[in-house]
Structures are given as structure tokens and as C-alpha cells.
Chain A
Amino acid sequence: MAASTDETPVLALTDIRRDFRMGRLLVRALRGVTMDVLPGEFLVVMGPSGCGKSTLLTLIGGLDRPTAGSIVTSGDEDITRGDETALAEYRRRWIGFIFQSYNLIPTMTARQNVEFPLVFAGIGRAARRARAEALLKRVGLGDRMTHRPIELSGGQQQRVAIARALANAPAIVLGDEPTGNLDTRSGQEIMDLLLELNRAGTTLIVVTHDARLCTYAHRVVRMEDGVVLGVDAGGRADEPRRSVPIEGDTRDVGVTAAAVRGHSIRRRRSFTTAEA
């Protein structure tokens, strides 16, 4: 296993439950999930459809609240206890989202889409633009800055979405079947891009059906029916995890930096490049 025990996890999930009440029926989507996310790792979550993968990801991403359990960050904050604003702040500072259906704003250009998270982070125009352009170049879309989503292929749209997810230099990037809507070749390209980002220091959790992704992962979490069956070693289990030092401000962070901004950084100083 890649994790050394003395390492502070980026996120620690303990006994997470999520019930959905549908009329008189109680759907228990997650029935006690406990797991860690280690800095710099590429974590793949696999399992049959309906086993609770997406539900887990939305909870990690702060888009929803668990019925029970805690999610504690390396900043020692339990995000399940914060109010709406605290959760919004967590999403902004800690999380980058990649959706299966890209979810770009159709009226905005690629660059504007990438800039959008920075708007809510209160970053100035010039800095925003520079960062968006750098990110788009990073994902190979330097020549598509002013294209709107409709003028881009699925693979290109997903690249824009990845650039957007990286905009605030989040601690973790979450992908819910990011290759699910793509043809094999585009899917492969996106996977390669994710691998590249992870090698440069981005912590990734990717939910997928696609067994090919396991070869990219440090660890593979196998889920079934709302519980974790086990954690397997991925194809890169022995490859060192690289985690970029945490810096103070998104504006100064390099394109590949998996850094968070502001106060939550204080307690995350301890890990740099973790060895297996």
C-alpha cells in the first residue's frame, strides 16, 4: 500500500452514511464508508452502477451533506458541521469538480468558463485572465480560448472543464466518470491528461466504470451497495506520490499546483513529496 501511516490525509472520511427518503421508501445509498485521501494520490473509485459512487463524490465535494459521519480535512475542519457559507468556501478552496457531462456555461467562452471560479474567489481581472490562459494552454487548448462550448468537441469541452477545476488550485480534483461521455480516443486523452496532472502534484479522486483507469491509480476503492468492499493497489501503487508544496495564494500558484488558499493552509505545511 502506498500510504505511510504517519502521513496526514488530505481528507479523512469516517463512517459516512447517506439515506435518501423517497416517500415511504428509505434508500440507503451509503451505509458507512470510511476512507482516507492521501496527498498527491490518484484514487480511483470503482463499482457497479447505483452502488453509491456519485453520492460519495458529492459528499466529498461538499455539494451535499451526509446523514451521518464526518469528513475532516487536513486543516482539521469537519465540513459536515459547517453552515452553507462554510461549505461554499470549502468547495471553492479545496475542491475542483469534473463532471461526466462537462457542465460548462454555454454562453461563455472557454476562457470565461475557466475564469468563472476565480470570479467568485474575488480575483482581479488581469490575474484571472492570465491564469485562465495558462491553464487552457496547460490542457492543450491554447488556440481555443474564445471558443464557446458548442464550438468544441466533447474531449475539448472536458479539457476546459479540467482547466476550470484547477482554477482555484484546489487540494483535490474530483471526477465523476469524466470519460463517460467520450469516445475511446478522447477518453484516453483525458485519462492521459489526468495522469499528467497527478504526476505534477494534483490529488485526484476519479469515479469510473472504466477499468483502464486502474492502471493510472495509486489505489483503487471497490464499492458495492453503499459500502467499501476493499482497497486495491492500482497500476501506479509503487510510483511516488508527488504533492506540491502548499502556497499562500492562488494568484501566485503555478498551473499545476495543488494548493489551497488562505487559512486552511496553515496545518497542511507538513507534507511535500511523500515517498512510498
Chain B
Amino acid sequence: MSQRDLFGLMWANLKRMRARVTLTALGVVIGTAAVVLLISLAIGLQTSAEAQLGGFGDLTTIEVFAGGGMMSIGPGMAASSSGGTDGVKLDRAAIEAFRKMAHVVAVSPKGNLSGQMQIEFNRETYFPGATGLEPDVAPKLGWRLAAGRASIGRGQIVIGQKVLANDFGPVSFGPGGGGSAYGPTPAPTPRPEDLVGKALNAELVKYDDEGTEITRRERLRVAGVFESSGGQEDYSLYMGLDDVDTFNRWFSTERRNARDGYDNVVVKVDERTEVRDVQKGIEDLGFSTFSAAQILESINRTFIIMQVVLGGIGAIALLVAAFGIANTMTMAIYERTREIGVMKAIGATNRDVLKVFLAEAGAIGAIGGVAGVTLALILAQVIELFLRAMMAANAQGSGEPLNLLITPVWLALFAIVFAILVGLMSGIYPALRAANLRPVQALRSD
């Protein structure tokens, strides 16, 4: 029997039990649509979570902290620590050790300004976070400049694109998203080229034991402006590590020797896939680490579990549909027993009979699958429109349209293939029964 004849026969048989096929396929439609919608939801959530993670920036850097030290990176982002390592210092020797590790391309201590600094520019006051770096390390970390140079001498700074921008500060919704929301008095953000060479007035503020404000004025010359990364770096200002040390000593009441060790070291790795191993190596030395890659990995893991769980819930609906198909095919075989006998009498092999009934079961799955995916896509649009209307009604309508449901092509194809498989599997038992009917008995039935 040729494929074409098999298809023709299958189609004719489906047509003659049209009502039952429709009802049975409806079960598959619901199951498939449920699988597609629920997995689309999981993917949509993952995608928007990943977009927000864009704010973490570089996926090939690892932040290293002194062992057991306290870190506050942000809510819900615990850095891993291998604990109980008070003796390990994050010093020059440690940095050298990191540098010798495979796949490490750059290492730099990072110093964070421990007090408040404000910068005057165009009669506006800005409060950027300031970080100290080794003078020439920025390019090695993969940070590219939009203008100027990256080497930071004394009294020099390299700034992120948004340090002097008139917006609401470091609230990032996906790459490039944050900059579009302007405050009530928008002033044009200065172009990077125009900033290079400018001297900015900076003011450091501290309070003495009586609570009196003491200020220290500095002039900081802009050596360069980083390219926008879309992350939090855009809102940071970088200065020489020595300057940060100097300022921190001024902030601090007790004298502290910086050579005792750094609070924070940044390690750059060549490939994203190597981050995990390097991170492990550093932790084995007794340091705490943090990497966006690791967070992303664990978030992805969570979302894959979510996809499986939600997909599984949808699959239960498909399981019910599978029983429907098996039932319909069993009924069909009862009704067509005599016909099966005839088919065999005129030369059909058991295989031919098997193929005919399997094809019918598979086709019910296929019809249900295609219709189910179509239904899911339509429903996804409807839900999307509904959500957008809700967001618009919520006054703010802030920027980015949020895609709650994302249906990739692979998911649609997978769902259809899965529905066909469900059909075929449900059809196996009835089809085998039909194929193995003894011709005499089949012909005798009424």
C-alpha cells in the first residue's frame, strides 16, 4: 500500500466518523493548547526575568570578596561563600593566584568609596556610586570607551554613560530600557565627547562625632566615558584605586592599612562557560564570589523546572485526550470488524491493517495538535491585548510592553509532534488488535 493510498484511506475513514473524530480531536486541541500556553507563560516569565538581569551586565566577570565578608549586592542575590575562612586575605598574593588560573584574562582589585560623594554639573547635583580600579585595567575587563582614554591617573575619572543623565537613576528594565523615562525637567544628557577633559566639582561629605558636617572639595577631570553596557555600570564613576583609598581614609576615623587586603576584586574570564569552574577554583581558596552568570544559571534552572511543571500540567489534559483517542479507535474497530475481515480477505496484510488504524489515530492527534497550537496562538494574542489594555488603564503605561506569553517556533512544532505521538501511542493497542483479528472471525461478525 502506497503512502498516498494510506493517506486517502485514512482521510475517507476520518470523514465517515466525522462527529466522533471532531469530539476526540477537541480533547487534543485543549490539551495541546494548555501545553503551549503554559510553557509559553514559563518562557515569557523567563525572558522578562532575563531582560531584567541585563542590569547585572557582564556575564564573564566574577566578583570576589574577602572570605566570610559581608556583602550587600541587592535583595535576593546572595553570593556564594565557602564560609569559615577568616584567615584568608584578599591581597596581592591572592590576586596573583587568581591571575595564574586558567581562562582568567584580567584581575583587578576594586575599591568602593565608603562615604558620600556628590558631583556638580550644569547646576545639577548627582550622586554617582564611585568605584576604584587599577589605572589600566578597564579595557581588559572588556569595558569599551565611547570617548577619551581608560587610564585613570590621580584626580582623573572615567564615567558611565548615565552618571550625568537626567533620569531617575539606576532602575533598569532590560537593555536600554531605563534611559527613556525622563523626569519633569528634562535637560539634554551631555554627549560623551563633550565630557572628555571637563573638570567636575566633587564634594565629599562626612560628619564628626558631634554630627557636624565636614566637606572636602575635589576637582575630578573626566579622562573617558564608557560605552553604555545597559547595566548598573552605566551609573557608576570610576577613579584610581589610590584616590579611593585616600578618600576612604579621609572618611574613616580609624586609620586603616589598605595593603591588609582589598574588599573586592574583579576577575575577568575568557568564556562564559568557564565562569563556573573559575568561580569554584576561587571559592576553594576560601573567598566568596558572585557572578551574574551563576545567578542567570540558577534562574534558568528554576525556569526550566517551571517549564517542565507547567508543561506537565498541560500534558495531563493531553493524557485525557489520549484515552479519548484510544476509545474512539476501539469503537471504530468494533464497528469495522467485518470490514477488517474483508480487507484481509482481499489481500491486506496485518501490517496494512495496522497502518490504516495507526494513521487514523495519528491523524486525530495531528488535527488536534495543529488546531490546539492555533488556538493557543490566538489566545496568547487575546491575553496580550487584554494585558496591554490593563496597563494602559493603569495610567503610567511605563515604557516596555511586557510579553507575558512567548511561543517560540520550536514550541509550536514540538506541541504538534507531541500531539501526533500521543495519537499514535493511543492508537497502538486498538490498531494491533485490529491487525491481529483472524479473518474468519472478523468476517463472521455483524
Which A residues form the contact surface with B (CB < 8 A)? Answer: 58, 61, 63-64, 84-85, 88-89, 91-93, 95, 97, 99, 103, 105, 107-108, 116-117, 119-122, 125, 164, 167-168
Contacts and interface: CB of A to CB of B under 8 A. Distances in A.
Nearest to A174: B345
Top 6 A-B residue pairs of the complex, sorted by shortest distance between their CB atoms: A92-B347, A117-B346, A63-B439, A88-B349, A64-B440, A120-B347
Contacts of A95: 345
Given A63-B440, A63-B443, A168 B347 contact: yes
B41 to A, nearest CB: 44
A99 B443 contact: yes
A105 B348 CA distance: 14
B339 A64 contact: no
A92 B346 contact: yes
Interface stretch (B1-9, B417-425, B426-434): B1-9
A116 B345 contact: no
B342 A91 contact: no
Interface in B336-375: 338-339, 341-352
B438 interface: yes
Contacts of B347: 88-89, 91-93, 117, 120-121, 168
A27 B339 CA distance: 27
B133 to A, nearest CB: 77
Nearest to B339: A105
11 contacts: A61-B345, A64-B439, A84-B349, A88-B348, A89-B349, A91-B439, A93-B347, A103-B443, A120-B349, A164-B346, A168-B346
Interface string B1-44: 11011000100110010000000000000000000000000000
A92 B345 CA distance: 8
Given A58-B440, A105-B339, A97 B349 contact: no
A91 B2 contact: no
Contacts of B339: 105
A97 B13 CA distance: 23
Which size class do B's interface residues fall under?
20 to 34
Contacts of A108: 12
Interface of B: 1-2, 4-5, 9, 12-13, 16, 338-339, 341-352, 438-440, 443
Contacts of B438: 63-64
B419 to A, nearest CB: 26
A92 B342 CA distance: 12
Contacts of A125: 4
A84 B347 CA distance: 11
A116 B5 CA distance: 10
A126 to B, nearest CB: 13
A89 B346 CA distance: 10
A44 B286 CA distance: 100
A61 B5 CA distance: 25
A170 B443 CA distance: 20
Nearest to A121: B347
A63 B443 CA distance: 9
Contacts of B344: 63, 88, 91
Nearest to A168: B347
Given A119-B5, A120-B352, A107 B12 contact: yes
A261 to B, nearest CB: 11
A99 B342 CA distance: 10
Given A63-B439, A63-B443, A97-B345, A122 B1 contact: yes
A119 B349 contact: no
A6 B343 CA distance: 37
Contact of B348 (A61, A93, A107, A120): A120
B1 A116 contact: no
B443 A91 contact: no
B350 A84 contact: yes
A23 B363 CA distance: 41
Contact of A85 (B16, B338, B350): B350
B440 to A, nearest CB: 4
Contacts of B341: 63, 103
Contacts of B349: 84-85, 88-89, 120
Residue of A119, A121, A164 with most chain B CB atoms under a 10 A cut-off: A119
Residue of B2, B13, B351, B443 with most chain A CB atoms under a 10 A cut-off: B443
A95 B344 CA distance: 11
Contacts of A122: 1-2
A106 to B, nearest CB: 8
Contacts of A167: 346
Contact of B345 (A63, A93, A119, A121): A63
